[in-house]
Amino acid sequence: MLIKNISLLYGVELTYIQNTNVRISGKNIEQIGVKITPKKNEIVLDCEGILMMPGLINSHTHIGDSIAKDIGIDSDVEEKIHPVSGFKQKVLKNSTKSHLTSFIKNSCISMMKKGITSFIDFREGGLDGVSLLKNSSTDIPIRSIILGRAEYYQDVQSIKKNTPIPPYHIQHIQNLLMNCDGLGISGPNEFSNSALTSFAKTTKIRAIHSAETEESNQISKKITGKTETQRALLVKPNFLVHMTYASKKDLAMAVRNKASIVVCPRANGSLAEGIPDVDLMLEAGCNVAIGTDNVMINSPDVFREMDYLWKVSMGMKKKRLEAKDILKMATTNASNILGKKIGVVQNNKIADCIFIEKHSIDLEPMHNPHASIVQRASENTIRAVMYEGEIVYGKI
Domains of the chain: 2-55+344-394 (2.30.40.10), 56-338 (3.20.20.140)
* pLDDT value for 151: 83
Which pLDDT band, with edges at 50, 70 and 90, does 94 fall under? low
Q: Mean of the pLDDT values across residues 86-91? A: 64
H or E stretch covering 30:
strand 28-32
End-to-end CA distance of the chain: 12
Contact indicator for 260, 208 with CB cutoff of 8 Å: no
How many percent of the chain have pLDDT more than 90? Answer: 87
Which pLDDT band, with edges at 50, 70 and 90, does 318 fall under? confident
Which pLDDT band, with edges at 50, 70 and 90, does 83 fall under? low
**What is the C-alpha separation between 316 and 148, in angstroms, rounded?**
35
Q: 330 Cβ partners below 8 Å, 6+ apart?
A: 56, 57, 58, 289, 290, 302, 305, 306
Write down the pTM of the prediction.
0.95
* pLDDT value for 319: 83
**pLDDT by residue (tens digit) across 193-252?**
999 999 999 999 999 999 999 999 999 999 999 999 999 999 999 999 999 999 999 999
DSSP string, 67-130: GGTTTTTTS-HHHHH-TTT-HHHHHHHTS-HHHHHHHHHHHHHHHHHTTEEEEEEEE-SHHHHH
Contact indicator for 249, 256 with CB cutoff of 8 Å: no
What's the one-letter identity of residue 340? K
Higher-pLDDT residue of 274 and 88 is 274
Q: 194: helix, coil or strand? A: helix
**What is the C-alpha separation between 238 and 216, in angstroms, rounded?**
21
Q: Mean of the pLDDT values across residues 318-330? A: 94
* pLDDT value for 75: 66
**Least confident among 87-96, 173-182, 352-361:** 87-96
**What is the C-alpha separation between 28 and 390, in angstroms, rounded?**
10
**pLDDT by residue (tens digit) across 98-146?**
889 999 999 999 999 999 999 999 999 899 999 999 999 999 999 999 9
Kindly provide the b/e burial profile for residues 81-99, where b requires at least 16 CB atoms within 10 angstroms of the residue's own CB. bbbeebbbbebbeebeeee
> For residue 12, how far is the Cα from the chain centroid?
17
Q: Mean of the pLDDT values across residues 347-364? A: 97
Give, to the nearest 10 degrees, the angle between helix 126-137 and helix 167-177. 10
The answer on pLDDT for 269 being more than 70 is yes
Helix and strand numbers (H, E) in the chain are 16, 17
Contact indicator for 21, 47 with CB cutoff of 8 Å: no
Which pLDDT band, with edges at 50, 70 and 90, does 73 fall under? low
Contact indicator for 361, 337 with CB cutoff of 8 Å: no
CB atoms inside a 10 Å sphere around CB 163: 16
What's the one-letter identity of residue 262? V
The answer on pLDDT for 78 being more than 70 is no
* pLDDT value for 70: 83
**pLDDT by residue (tens digit) across 6-29?**
999 999 999 999 999 999 999 999
The answer on pLDDT for 90 being more than 70 is no
Q: 275: helix, coil or strand? A: coil
The answer on pLDDT for 149 being more than 60 is yes
Which pLDDT band, with edges at 50, 70 and 90, does 80 fall under? low
Tell me the three-class secondary structure of 53-76, residue by residue. EECEEEEEEEHHHHHHCCCCCCCC
Nearest residue to 311 (alpha-carbon basis) of 324, 298, 302, 320: 320
The answer on pLDDT for 74 being more than 90 is no
Q: Mean of the pLDDT values across residues 305-317? A: 94
Mean pLDDT of the chain: 94
